[in-house]
Amino acid sequence: MTSTVVVLDAAHPEGVLADPSVPLVRIDDQGLTRGDGVFETMRAVDGLVQKFEAHHQRLSASARLAQLPVPSARDVRGAVELALAHAAPGGDGGLGAEHAVKVVISRGTPADGPWSWIVVSPVPETTFRQRRDGVTAVLLPRGHDPAQDAGYPWLLPGAKTLSYAINMAALRHARSLGADEAVFTTEGRRVLEGATSSVVCARVRVGRRTLLTPEPSHGILPGTTQAKIFAAARRDGWELGYGPLYPADLMEADAVWLVSSVRLAVPVRRLDHQPLPVDPDLTKLVTSWVQQA
């Protein structure tokens, strides 16, 4: 898959195209050696980035927690537009030409300090397949309640950091168990979030339609896609609930999705090897909410 790269540094604060086939990151870069950095992943459709302001706000919040400088919204947007203008054709999942846009801020080398880069890649067919067919998931204990991290800013609660080894290990473990995805829980079995996604479920009763998600203030990453879905659902007259959620709430829901910026709303069809209801009409509705301007 062909990617397009734009670098933002002291010499090029507005961004400059870089050759992705040659080395760009030094071996003593602390983003590489220590995972010391933050990032955001956005979705672009037909050359236009979705939810840019929400993503830049979350990137800025992550950078503040990590005590990293963040490029201005103008510079990031300009660099993203530069990358998209030179990108390979986007993936086609029926919603337009789609690209994944990743913005990274690294601590950099001790000598040169922080810098940023942007990578734009076509959305792959595997993503479209998950949207269509759904995924299976298992519940995995996080080992502690991240809500307890809120009083310890050095634990970077709610920051989207480059230190994703635990998330990737959770996905590998889930796949060793025959599932596609992992959903984290506390020791008390309270549902937190997916390894790379937010959890949303629907409860439909006569005269009452409700969307639910775990408490966003309890040490989990605030989801930009979840927030957009909930804002649109509220406008359409749905009730909203913010946890706490437990496995039984997901098992008894009328639909469960793992939502994220590039994958959108992926139905969960099995959880801990138990079948879950999949409602194509509800999934279509939720996806339409994500697509709204």
Q: Can you give the CATH number for the domain in which 224 is found?
A: 3.20.10.10
Q: Is residue 92 located within the same domain as residue 184?
A: no
- Candidates 288, 277, 290; CA nearest to 251 is 277
**Domain ends where: 123, 145, 175?**
123
Q: Is residue 108 located within the same domain as residue 134?
A: no
Number of domains in the chain: 2
Report the DSSP pairing between strands 181-185 and 135-141. Answer: parallel
Q: Is residue 263 within 8 Å of residue 130, measured between CB atoms?
A: yes
In the prediction, which pLDDT does 145 show? Answer: 75
Q: Is residue 230 located within the same domain as residue 253?
A: yes
Q: Please name the residue ranges forming H helices in 143-223.
A: 165-176
Q: Is residue 151 located within the same domain as residue 179?
A: yes
* CB neighbour class for 1 (10 Å; exposed up to 12, middle 13-18, buried from 19): exposed
Q: Is residue 75 located within the same domain as residue 98?
A: yes
- CA distances from residue 244 to 239, 247, 261 in whole angstroms, order as listed: 15, 10, 23
Q: Is residue 161 located within the same domain as residue 232?
A: yes
Which residues is 16 bridged to in the sheet? 7
**Domain ends where: 100, 123, 146?**
123
**Boundaries of domain holding 62:** 4-123
This prediction has a pTM of: 0.94
In the prediction, which pLDDT does 98 show? Answer: 98
Q: Is residue 194 located within the same domain as residue 119?
A: no
Q: Give the CATH number of the domain where residue 42 resides.
A: 3.30.470.10
**Domain ends where: 123, 157, 181?**
123
What is the rounded distance in angstroms from the CA atom of residue 191 to the CA atom of residue 140?
A: 10
Q: Phi/psi zone of residue 23: left (φ > 0), alpha (ψ -120 to 50 degrees), beta?
A: beta
In the prediction, which pLDDT does 284 show? Answer: 97
- What pLDDT tens digit does each residue of the chain (293 aa) get? 689 999 999 999 999 999 999 999 999 999 999 999 999 999 999 999 999 999 999 999 999 999 999 999 999 999 999 999 999 999 999 999 999 999 999 999 999 999 999 999 999 999 999 999 999 999 999 987 777 777 788 888 889 999 999 999 999 999 999 999 999 999 889 999 999 999 999 999 888 999 999 987 666 888 999 999 999 999 999 999 998 999 999 999 999 999 999 999 999 999 999 999 999 999 999 999 998 76
Q: Is residue 143 located within the same domain as residue 118?
A: no
Q: Is residue 119 located within the same domain as residue 145?
A: no
Q: Is residue 102 located within the same domain as residue 216?
A: no
Report how far apart the first and last C-alpha atoms of the chain are (Å, whole number).
Answer: 29
**Number of DSSP helices (H) and strands (E) in the chain, helices first:** 8, 16
Q: Is residue 113 located within the same domain as residue 208?
A: no
Q: Is residue 95 located within the same domain as residue 135?
A: no
Q: Prior bond to 244 cis, omega within 30?
A: yes
In the prediction, which pLDDT does 151 show? Answer: 79
- Candidates 228, 227, 63, 67; CA nearest to 159 is 63
